[in-house]
Amino acid sequence: MRRDGPDLRPHPDAAIAHLANDQHGVFSHDQALRLGCTKRMIEHRVAVGRWERLAQGVYLLGGADRGFLTAAHAATLLTPDSVVSGQAAAGLHRLTGFGAAPVEVSVPPPASTASPLATVRRRIEFDATRAQGIPVTTIAQTVADLCGTRLPLERIERATDDAILDRRLLVGHLEDQAVRHTRLRSRGVRRLRSLVAERADGQPVAESVLEPLLWRLVRHPDVPPAVRQHRLPWTIDGRTACVDLFIEGWGLILEADGRRWHTRIADFERDRRRDRAAMAHGLIVVRFTWLDLTTAFAASQSDLLRIGRRRALELGHA
């Protein structure tokens, strides 16, 4: 096939150098292939010392510094869908009292836990973001994880308080972590709940405030019609079940939750009974907190759309 005009794509070496500069000197085998390298070119550059193989499929550009950031980024490139966690995450977030640390990464199941570049922790749920260009657990998630270590609580509290004062961390996000870790029975949950209890204040969010926020969440062209305050055809504890929003096309019940974190923990069993009753009728329940509907609105709506698309496929509505 004849190509019209010159090929304006950068040479693979230039493209990889640019990428490595953004990734603390490291890049993956797949990235190199996507940027125009062949397997033979890769092996040649490793053989002559222009690239260093840190692990099978991860390389360091010759001359690049080998520090904490390089090690952290390399570990996430080696293990797909992983994020830096634990004390290494605290170091990436520059939390008070934390810096370079042995790299730990968290991955969802069923990912492998084998890695020569990091300790790998397989976890069902965790919240992620990016810090210094590297995938990492959020500050709230990181604080919750640190509570499950043997670190002195005073050290964790100092880092937490400084992050709150710097407006990098909301107490509400810590409250959500306390609820999740209580449900998962995570290690260190008592320390986390103690830390949250000393910093949480305020009152529950009124339903009159939550309802329009939840309604705004479903006001999207890709969301099927939703019904407010929908009564379901079954009872729970002898009472008619009524839900905040019902999307029949997706078989989804949406609930806005403005309770304080300790109340949400106390109501776990009731919530589980309601959710099991919905599942028995072929429905699923998705709950959104005050923070989900305010500071994390865009992410929450994106999550809803992904869940809805999956439900549409399951129900044969796609």
Name the token pair of 289: 């907190």
**CA–CA distance, 292 with 97 (Å, rounded to integer):** 30
Q: Model-level pTM? A: 0.80
> What's the Cα-to-Cα distance from 306 to each of 13, 154, 222, 223, rounded to whole Å?
37, 40, 10, 11
pLDDT tens track of the chain, all 318 residues? 445 555 556 789 999 999 999 999 999 999 999 999 999 999 999 999 999 999 999 999 988 888 999 999 999 999 999 999 999 999 999 999 999 999 999 999 998 889 999 999 999 999 999 999 999 999 999 999 999 999 999 999 999 999 999 999 999 999 999 999 999 999 999 999 999 999 986 678 888 889 999 999 999 999 999 999 999 888 777 777 789 999 999 999 999 998 888 888 888 888 888 899 899 999 999 999 988 999 889 999 999 999 999 999 999 876
Q: Looking at residue 148, what DSSP letter applies?
A: T
> Looking at residue 272, what is its pLDDT?
87
- Beta carbons of 26 and 20 less than 8 angstroms apart: yes
- The backbone torsions φ and ψ at residue 172, rounded to the nearest 5 degrees and listed phi first, read -60, -35
Give yes or no for a cis peptide into 224 (omega within 30° of 0): no
> Looking at residue 33, what is its pLDDT?
96
**CA–CA distance, 67 with 54 (Å, rounded to integer):** 13
> Looking at residue 1, what is its pLDDT?
45
Query: Which pairing describes strands 252-257 and 284-289: parallel, antiparallel, or unpaired?
Result: parallel
Does domain 207-315 fall into CATH 3.40.960.10?
Answer: yes
Q: Could you state, in order of their start, the residue ranges of all structural domains in the chain?
A: 12-64, 69-197, 207-315
Widest pairwise Cα distance in the chain? 76
> Looking at residue 8, what is its pLDDT?
58
